[in-house]
Structure 1
């Protein structure tokens, strides 16, 4: 039986505590046969009919998402920078978040191609975007939505690919080893040639391993600042594996869009 995830990490949603005052986010584990490829299903719903609109900021992740939203459905690759989503009126968005590398076996083309434009749902599954929107978003209850989505995915399940397992082991290792800052460290840990690793990530993930390492370090920093805006920047940069505070600030701003100090100030105002 599928169940909503009880974990509370932000998973890329900046200022999540403030955001959850304006929308409801639930995540569900997929069926066992789908779980090799799909990390989880997610559903965001909101009703701000009587309230002002809310701008939710999102840090990208190294995953492909199938997104079903009125008039804006598609299959989207990993973004390279922070992006924003305007929550207004009343609505619902349904998503299937594939594991890092987990969408390549469906696509059989370098996932990096999704950086330029999203893929039409019909290109992979036997339904187009508008039809999927009408069928899925009209379901009564979230369990029914997920059951319907799985009915479209299961007939298209490809053969399980060992490279997907390897990539997820690498990503899990990057997340667990907070002092990892260089691709060479990843190569050494998994005994893989750097050029081979680059090709693997381009083909399966769509972004470079260097970007994935940087992303998780800075997402950790943002989550830390959400919990405790008053922080020692030198200490935080060292905890994240940076030996130079200015390098940490530069990377943080490149991905998050503001300096750590500005981000912490925003967290203080929202709390």
Structure 2
């Protein structure tokens, strides 16, 4: 099982880096796989799709808390651009809190806000480079009103993220370091990310395991990633991915489900 489309990461323009964490251009080749996986992802994404006949639409895909395995890829989609929104960007840009989008993939224009409808209409008219220029003009003003809150959320996200040289901190330690209560930190994450701090950290850590496991010793990876031991890593991986690491990396996966557009995860 593989991804249905070939992802190509694009460089995020400097002007968008405070608000956009990643951009992917996705194009379908002539041969699409029969099945594919969506791994857990804490980011909310804007997706602009182009069908083979040229029709364009805009979607918003909320955080995915667990992996999904699909069959029957949509062969009408020729390409799409995926824009990962940074922490705290969803409500200023779309007019809705991130928590309302968890586990959902919906037409952007179907969100119950004028901001989302206007953005949807604009994005389907623009080429990718024009879309980035439009977002550059649109994003700074909505975030300017509460920069201190945005900085606090980004600092917390950074502390709870996993990198090759950085295991995620404990939630209580992050709250103490940022001089907020754990309840305030949870509320900040729920509004700005859509997930609790603990759930965000679990997803980010499992995504790190997915990246590093093919070339790392699992016991060493578990220790470096902040798990108590390898069994703790295996348990967390199984919960989010549906299978233990060894099964996932040898292709023994859950039966895929039919791919349904706009399906609630």
Same fold? TM cut 0.5: yes
Alignment check: 8 A CA contact 2:25 2:81 kept: yes
- Alignment pair present for 1:260 and 2:242: no
Partner SS for 1:266: coil
Counterpart in 2 of 1:227?
A: 215
Change (3 A) 1:56 1:27: farther
Counterpart in 2 of 1:158?
A: 142
Deviation at 1:200, TM superposition (A): 0.6
1:214 to 202, 209, 226: 202
User: Take 2:46 and 2:143, find their aligned partners in 1: how far apart are those partners?
Assistant: 19
Partner SS for 1:68: strand
Deviation at 1:117, TM superposition (A): 4.3
Pairs within 5 Å for 1:78-157: 78-84=63-69, 86=73, 88=75, 91-115=78-102, 117-118=104-105, 120-122=107-109, 123-125=114-116, 127=118, 129=120, 132-133=123-124, 135-136=125-126, 139=127, 145-151=128-134, 154-155=137-138, 157=141
Higher relative contact order by CA 8 Å / sep ≥ 6: 1 or 2?
2
Report the RMSD for the aligned CA atoms in angstroms.
3.2
Counterpart in 1 of 2:18?
A: 36
Could you tell me the TM-score, scaled by structure 2's length?
Answer: 0.74
CA offsets, 1:217-269, max 9 Å, x none?
212211122334xx3x43332222222433321110111222012123239xx
CA offsets, 1:122-176, max 9 Å, x none?
442564757744x34xx4xxxxx22234326624641423222222222222234
Alignment check: 8 A CA contact 1:47 1:90 kept: no
Alignment check: 8 A CA contact 1:68 1:94 kept: yes
2:190 to 191, 202, 216: 202
Partner SS for 2:185: helix
Unaligned residue ranges in structure 1 (runs of 5+) = 1-14, 140-144
Partner SS for 1:73: strand
Deviation at 1:115, TM superposition (A): 2.0
User: Take 1:104 and 1:130, find their aligned partners in 2: how far apart are those partners?
Assistant: 18
Deviation at 1:195, TM superposition (A): 0.4
Change (3 A) 1:189 1:19: same
Partner SS for 1:41: strand
Matched pairs, number = 236
Counterpart in 2 of 1:11?
A: none
Could you list the runs of 4 or more consecutive aligned residues of structure 1 that deviate by over 6 angstroms after TM superposition?
A: none
Unaligned residue ranges in structure 2 (runs of 5+) = 51-55, 253-265
Change (3 A) 1:67 1:199: same
- Alignment pair present for 1:242 and 2:227: yes
Deviation at 1:27, TM superposition (A): 1.6
Change (3 A) 1:59 1:191: farther
